[in-house]
Structure 1
Amino acid sequence: MSKGKDRAQAKKVVQAQLAKERRRTVTLWTTVGVVAVLVIAGLIGWGVAAGQEKDTAGKLTVPPSAVDDGTAFARGSGPVTIDIYEDFMCPVCHEFEKTSGPTVTQLVDAKKVTVRYHPIAILDRASTTEYSTRSAGAAAAASVGGKFFEYHEVLFANQPAEGSAGLDDAKLIELGRSVGLTDAAFADAVNGRTYTAWATDVTDKASARGVTGTPTVLVAGKKLDQPTPQALTAAVEAAGA
């Protein structure tokens, strides 16, 4: 009798251990399943977000205020048109703005000219982050907030060195805030690359128009070989302003 009881007791212990092991296995695989689901969900979420950013960057969105076939931003209302093709990474463009920018402003204030600024991206190779494209896109976003010229000025005032990474998106957004672009729309456009495709498109159009370098300055459709303050003033006067 004692042996029978011992065998029964041993059987119960074995059954209990087997049941416990089954519960452990179920719990383990349930946990693994949950983790797998979470990982897959995370990957899907990342993929969707990455896809959305790629779609945004690949979609041609033209800023509403852009003129000249959507390639430029106008300043002034005078009878003579000055077209300025610039790259925000271009040091010669920066020099042009320092030396001839005040003359351009004087001509605008005198209501002699309408200036069309064309931000193009031909120097992406001069940075490690395609800064020319990113800054041109940020300038387009600034135009939507009514601050293109102010942002244009602050970008040149903070121009990074050629060959550097360029300003990151956070800095581009910070510079926007410094000129009054404090709403989320500007930051979202910079982070989301809303105007990346536009920057590429206007660069292609500039090339098709014969623009091979920056700065390229035209007065009444005629290119100035040396866009000095004196040459600008003389060309505007010759055009009849």
Structure 2
Amino acid sequence: MIEGSLPRLELWCELQCPDCRTALDDVRALRAEYGDALPIELRHFPLEKHKHAYAAAQAAEEAFAQGLGWPYVEALLDRVEDLEARGEAVLLEVAREVGVDAEEVDTALVDGRHTLIVDADQAEGKAIGVTGTPTYVIAGQRLDGGQSQEGLRERITALIEGAKAP
């Protein structure tokens, strides 16, 4: 059990980004170390160069609405190349695989019910200086993760430990 309250870790992510799949390994390791004591929030930052990223963010939000957001995100990031090659059909396949109602995902993509969330995340990301993915924000500090994973987890852990409430 971790004593003290831990700061929230924001992972600014793009679900068609190969570097974000690597970031998922960091998230899994941090979850293993801190468990539920470390709140981890996915923030969307779809990049224009990936044509399915915006739809993937919307689909992920529908999965979160159904209580299966992280399993969906993890499964989708494990299929980045498939999403690139086959497009949005993969979003529905992944939904079915993890138990998300794929019909609701499809409906959400059509009616745009989650666009406000994705747009707000993207605007906030730009406002705080996010330029690429993955980017981590913890204890008010931004760490750009797309450059090198070397030592990144250790820097995140140091920020978590340094921000613990006494």
Q: Same fold (TM over 0.5)?
A: yes
Which residue of the partner structure matches residue 95 of structure 1?
22
1:71-96 deviation per Cα after TM superposition (whole angstroms, max 9, x unaligned): xxxxxxx5311111011122221122
Q: 1:80 to 1:138 in 2, by over 3 A?
A: same
Alignment of 1:59-70 (within 5 A): none
Contact 1:147–1:181 (CA<8 Å) still a contact in 2?
yes
- Indicate which of 57, 60, 74 corresponds to 1:153: 74
2:36 counterpart of 1:115: no
- The number of aligned residues is 156
Q: Please give the root-mean-square deviation of Cα atoms over the aligned residues, in Å.
A: 2.4
The one-letter amino acid of 1:199's match is V
Contact 1:108–1:114 (CA<8 Å) still a contact in 2?
no
The one-letter amino acid of 1:143's match is F
Shift in Å at residue 176 of structure 1? 0.6
Instruction: List runs of 5+ in structure 2 lacking aligned partners.
Output: none
Deviant stretches of 4+, over 4 Å:
164-167
1:53-110 deviation per Cα after TM superposition (whole angstroms, max 9, x unaligned): xxxxxxxxxxxxxxxxxxxxxxxxx531111101112222112223x12222124416
The one-letter amino acid of 1:91's match is P
Partner SS state of residue 85, structure 1: strand
Contact 1:133–1:200 (CA<8 Å) still a contact in 2?
no
Select the structure with the greater relative contact order (CA < 8 A; seq sep ≥ 6). 2
Q: 1:194 to 1:212 in 2, by over 3 A?
A: same
Contact 2:6–2:163 (CA<8 Å) still a contact in 1?
no
Instruction: List runs of 5+ in structure 1 lacking aligned partners.
Output: 1-77
2:70 counterpart of 1:143: no
The one-letter amino acid of 1:195's match is H
Shift in Å at residue 194 of structure 1? 3.2
The one-letter amino acid of 1:131's match is H
Contact 1:85–1:120 (CA<8 Å) still a contact in 2?
yes
- Indicate which of 81, 90, 93 corresponds to 2:8: 81
Shift in Å at residue 237 of structure 1? 1.0
Larger radius of gyration: 1
Alignment of 1:1-241 (within 5 A): 78-98=5-25, 100-109=26-35, 111=37, 113-122=38-47, 124-126=48-50, 130-160=51-81, 165-182=84-101, 184-225=103-144, 228-240=152-164
TM-score by length of 2: 0.80
Quick one: percent identity of the two aligned structures? 23
1:2-37 deviation per Cα after TM superposition (whole angstroms, max 9, x unaligned): xxxxxxxxxxxxxxxxxxxxxxxxxxxxxxxxxxxx
Which residue of the partner structure matches residue 27 of structure 1?
none
TM-score by length of 1: 0.57
Shift in Å at residue 187 of structure 1? 2.8
Contact 2:92–2:102 (CA<8 Å) still a contact in 1?
no
Equivalent-residue separation in structure 2 for 1:239 and 1:101 (angstroms): 18
The one-letter amino acid of 1:82's match is L
Shift in Å at residue 146 of structure 1? 0.8
Contact 2:52–2:84 (CA<8 Å) still a contact in 1?
yes
Partner SS state of residue 136, structure 2: strand
